[in-house]
Structure 1
């Protein structure tokens, strides 16, 4: 059993528009606009319309027959016959049909929940890489300012003849590299914007705003119970229930149908004789019973349903194993991200102290400028790696949210 913990980590400062949407608002917008979810709800509503179609009796039958050559009877000639009949399925069949239709509609609803859960995962898997790139841009822009400061200092010291020209050239090269990186990073945002906006079913050119700060709540309590609420598993459970109902209906189909009816025969009077009940019409109640002697198809229906139930149960077991495996990997990624984040932060703190010392020494003596640049670039790499770790952390949390269906329950 996983231990219960709640961590709130890492506040990240981003320069964003104060009017920007939060991730939760993006998820809500995606759920409202996504065409697959809309289609799923339409299919669900259509499935609901099946219920009144299957839980009603067949229409009664009325027939009228006129004898071209009247049939002579003792009390007169039979001129016409009017028949009325109503068939009834075996006891419990109508309810069984309704149960099947209701459960099939429930599977459609569960499919919508599964689509929504997967959509939220896809939104998050696009959202956090955007955060990573925006953070990399911010870090590089800060690095540009630092390198500009280094260049100004080296230029002053070169003018005083205290450092060689190579110090300035080294900074120029690094500045050019950083500017190129920033340009490429900005360009790499465009396809992510398109992917993200498509998931929300909106204009491709709309800018995505990242909420600030980013919070990291994790709740690993009773994960086993949460996994059982995964929409994919619930969908399989709903299909199993529908197949059980189908099996019950197939068994009822092997029972006979019965009907009741009434025949009314119109008799004309005999003119050649006088008798009691001469020309009296005939009223005859009738009972009908079907004989389900060809049971092979119904036996096949029952067997089919039972085999589908076995297949769904095995599929559910495989899905549970997959979800547990994914959770185990995601949980490890969360722990690793926390450790790496702290490691990179410690390295950044140490490098900051080293850079201050080296920079002071360089300002006084003009020596070790190459080491100043090396440590500065090393710090930049740690800052970039820290942003990537935060992204990976969020992606791992997104997988856990997908497994536990956190955002849709």
Structure 2
């Protein structure tokens, strides 16, 4: 007997684990489906967005500066030709050719190349930051569109509830058979919420939420039985014309609200398509549902990712290193530059003139052989005006310190933003669970009140109040789910998730 009980317990535990595993798989498949749709739009935006492409071109331009500063300055060649030969002892000098190559102080070229490479790295991080911002804007706009679409669907569902209640109130006023109208109203109430992903549908309900759902299901079945009994009943009278009129007022207001929501869709689509770099009228594919998510890690586990991978911090770090290299360059600029070259003098033979020991005005000059001459040369610059070099060093040092303070401030702001994002995610998790239960309980209450109104004609004000509460809870639920996904998009931006090349 004990063995049978143990085997039964093992079977129940295995079934529970299997059910939990299937729930997790369904959640992952839903998240992956959403991620795939978003990923396609992110790739399209990254390839077509003009701002991102402009920043990438700046990065390529800065890369081309590296070979420009990593080489020696061009040598200088000078050529001089005498219009009248210059008579010298070696002959008549016809021309003078010199070439000179200047060499910066030791380490200058390497420092210049490092500075250009760091500037290219900073521009690359700026490109990543713009891409990071773009991805967040694409995601947040996508979720706004999803929220607007769901608001339209929820409002349409609520409009259908009001119309079925209007038919029910009109039949009661005329004294007709209310069985079919009551059934239609109950069906519309129960169908509300089917187009919104909830923790129950995604296997994410926890603790007492599951127990509440089970009890609510029992109460829903009881409400359904009441509706069935109502169908067998005959006509009922005693309805009020004011009930019909108040429902018609609500219907007109809901129809106007639908038109307002439809008008909000066009500018959102226009903005989304411009972020993607496509035509403003291009069709946008939205996911049918957004599944609620649970944050698997605490906030501290994301701090290292923010500090190490955030492109804004890496860009400021690269800029600080750039100014450090500029300070070294200013110091090396104050050192002498060395020049090495040669001077080549062209001579032609000169004939002997005068007589040795002769008298008269004409002196004796021996003949010149006209041999060309080459003279090695070394030059040295003298940076004696030290004030400008010291000022350049101070300028670079002040800029480096300013960037370091700016980086420290950016780190503080990112950490604060991270804490707020984690808090918003945790808050949305609790809110989604609460609102999901409130939607379900309000649906059941409204179903029961519709039946009570059909049978007794009482509590019409409460009926309208509960119907409005159901609409508000459903709108708050989808808003909480969308806010949760927007917060996750912000978290991805902070930790630079999915933007590495």
Normalised by the length of structure 2, the TM-score is 0.74
Matched, 1:293 2:373: no
Displacement of 1:246 after TM fit?
1.4
Displacement of 1:10 after TM fit?
11
Matched, 1:393 2:472: no
Partner of 1:3: none
Q: Secondary structure at the match of 2:152?
A: helix
Partner of 2:19: none
Measured at CA, do residues 243 and 219 of structure 1 come closer, stay the same or move farther in structure 2, by a change above 3 Å? Answer: farther
Measured at CA, do residues 8 and 374 of structure 1 come closer, stay the same or move farther in structure 2, by a change above 3 Å? Answer: farther
Displacement of 1:205 after TM fit?
2.3
Distance, in Å, in 1 between the alignment partners of 2:118 and 2:34 is 44
Distance, in Å, in 1 between the alignment partners of 2:148 and 2:79 is 81
Distance, in Å, in 2 between the alignment partners of 1:183 and 1:391 is 22
Measured at CA, do residues 70 and 289 of structure 1 come closer, stay the same or move farther in structure 2, by a change above 3 Å? Answer: same
Distance, in Å, in 2 between the alignment partners of 1:282 and 1:348 is 103
Measured at CA, do residues 217 and 9 of structure 1 come closer, stay the same or move farther in structure 2, by a change above 3 Å? Answer: farther
Distance, in Å, in 2 between the alignment partners of 1:58 and 1:306 is 27
Matched, 1:244 2:324: yes
Displacement of 1:154 after TM fit?
1.9
* Worse-matched range after superposition: 386-395 or 313-322: 386-395
Find the partner of 1:335 among 403, 408, 426: 426
Question: How large is the Cα RMSD of the aligned pairs?
Answer: 2.7
Matched, 1:377 2:377: no
Structure 2: give runs of 5+ residues left out of the alignment: 1-22, 28-32, 176-236, 354-364
Partner of 1:185: 261
Partner of 1:325: 416
Displacement of 1:150 after TM fit?
1.5
* Worse-matched range after superposition: 89-98 or 300-309: 89-98
Q: Secondary structure at the match of 2:97?
A: strand
Contact preservation (8 Å) 1:20, 1:209: no
Contact preservation (8 Å) 2:351, 2:366: no
Q: Secondary structure at the match of 1:304?
A: helix
Distance, in Å, in 2 between the alignment partners of 1:376 and 1:102 is 65
Alignment of 1:273-312 (within 5 A): 278-312=369-403
Alignment of 1:204-215 (within 5 A): 204-215=280-291
Find the partner of 1:107 among 115, 122, 126: 122
Contact preservation (8 Å) 2:290, 2:482: no
Displacement of 1:237 after TM fit?
0.6
Contact preservation (8 Å) 1:23, 1:210: no
Distance, in Å, in 2 between the alignment partners of 1:298 and 1:392 is 55
Displacement of 1:316 after TM fit?
0.5
Distance, in Å, in 2 between the alignment partners of 1:27 and 1:21 is 10
Normalised by the length of structure 1, the TM-score is 0.90
Partner of 1:232: 312
Measured at CA, do residues 220 and 313 of structure 1 come closer, stay the same or move farther in structure 2, by a change above 3 Å? Answer: farther
Structure 1: give runs of 5+ residues left out of the alignment: 1-6, 12-17
Deviations 1:322-354 (A, max 9, x none): 111111112211122122222212222222222
Contact preservation (8 Å) 2:294, 2:429: no
Distance, in Å, in 1 between the alignment partners of 2:97 and 2:120 is 42
Contact preservation (8 Å) 1:79, 1:267: yes
Find the partner of 2:96 among 73, 78, 81: 81
Distance, in Å, in 1 between the alignment partners of 2:143 and 2:44 is 17
Distance, in Å, in 2 between the alignment partners of 1:171 and 1:186 is 23
Distance, in Å, in 1 between the alignment partners of 2:41 and 2:437 is 34
Measured at CA, do residues 20 and 363 of structure 1 come closer, stay the same or move farther in structure 2, by a change above 3 Å? Answer: farther
Displacement of 1:303 after TM fit?
1.1
Distance, in Å, in 1 between the alignment partners of 2:34 and 2:478 is 23
* Worse-matched range after superposition: 267-276 or 47-56: 267-276
